[in-house]
Amino acid sequence: MKKTVVLYPGLAVSHFVPMMQLADALMEEGYAVTVALIDPSLKGDIALAAVIDRVAASKPAVTFHKLALVQDPPTVVHDTKFLVRYSDLVNRYNEHLHDFLLSMPPCSVHALIVDFMSIDVLGGTRMLGIPTYSFIGINASAFAIFSQFPSILADGQPSLRELGDTPISLHGVPSMTAPHIINNEMLEDPETRKVLVDMMQKQQEADGILVNTFESLEVRAVGALGDKRCFPKMPPVYCVGPLVAEAGVAQEKHECLSWLDRQPELSVVYLCFGSVGAGNHSQEQLKEIAVGLEKSGHRFLWVVRAPPHSDPERRVDPRADPDLDVILTDGFLERTSGRGLVVKLWAPQVEVLRHRATGAFVTHCGWNSVLEGIAAGVPMLCWPLYGEQTMNKVLMVEEARIGVEMVGWQQGLVKAEEIEAKVRLVMHSEEGELLRARVTAHKEAAAMAWKDGGPSRAAFGQFLSDVGNLGQGPPRW
């Protein structure tokens, strides 16, 4: 009987997709893979539900098990209480996961890999004697920062709001100001701070940490995470990235790919801001983008969603079909016809980024998108919106130097003049050529990371060896 590795992904597309790439790597090494799932409908995530269905259909060798429902689950929305509600939701499933693991054949579970936001399952898995690892879908730099939150947010320390623009010195990353660390309003909430601090302290109780990055991209952060002087209680850290989705084989070619086929090489700016409603821009911002793109004179492919309602109580479904004639500048679509294409809701991003016509990527700096941009060798225009994306921006602009910052994101509005100027800089300047050269070098390193002898494949092999050395622990009854 094959040894089984159980994966327990988080409730977000950005957390689920890279873990499924990890499933492929495990199966290549001869392991059986079972994925334990919380029903994504509880979080109202239509996009995640669709992705799970598509992935399950494409991976018949993987067993997908949906955990039994909990009663009266909390509603999870992207506001200042998001982390509190999310943690409450996933923690209610700890007992169900424990029961599911107990139902599996004795000693068949070789290891459990859990999303880092579900780390509270550790208590139950310790009782079962199952080696348990935390999967970090974000990068090593952001994880290093989060790991220092227990000291940054400790009682008696000034709040991030009080620190303002005072540079904060941190292990493994450049000094940065509080607005670049995380949403300050969220961290003003005492419950959120407690949840986040507890979550990061529990990471140190895992048997190891798997991070979706490759070593040469984040030399400073990876070095710090492995340095006991910086993180004395950190378990082994394995850099096993980049875990990015492969280009899909669709039954029908998406219209935007056919349009890209007709464009010159490296001539198109691609704009997309993630897969969740938190990335929806206001109508004012959408019009600024339209004006900036039109004035830049460059070709563009832009994925647009409906703007959020002005009344927060009347939230817009992030998958709602946007009325482009209403939300964009009058006559914009007609004036840019031929050199620009606006796509509603979604585009096949991996295929778009790897297309010969794509020359730049305007991104919200979500880590999956960043890795997809690097794997395609496309320089990026960085426009962080929420979560750890502000930290990712620092890595991209200051450390890896593969992107430029879209000034104005901190104030909540990037002006048309900034969009025009930065598009021209990346697409047609000496600085833009240097960006392209650097991201091309990282592309080559990313391609080598998982080849025989590559650092990520070696780290993955070390992880498997270490799991085997831990053994299965005591009997589970």
Query: Could you give the residue numbers annotated as active site?
Result: 15, 115
- Region for residue 165 given its phi and psi (left: phi exceeds 0; alpha: psi -120 to 50; beta: otherwise): alpha
For the chain, the residue count is 477
Quote the CA–CA distance of 305 and 319 in Å, as a whole number. 7
Give the pair of three-digit tokens for residue 274. 């993630």
One-letter amino acid for residue 419 of the chain: I
Task: Describe the chain by its helix, strand, coil percentages, rounded to 5.
Answer: 45, 15, 40
Q: What angle do CA 107, 109, 114 make, to 5 degrees?
A: 145
Whether the bond between 242 and the residue before it is cis, its omega within 30 degrees of 0, is yes
Q: Strand locations in 163-320, DSSP E?
A: 208-211, 237-239, 268-272, 299-304
CA-wise closest residue to 442 among 395, 406, 402: 402
The secondary structure of 298-323 as a DSSP string is: -EEEEEE-PPPPSSTTSPPPTTSPP-
CB 148 within 8 A of CB 170: yes
Quote the CA–CA distance of 121 and 97 in Å, as a whole number. 8
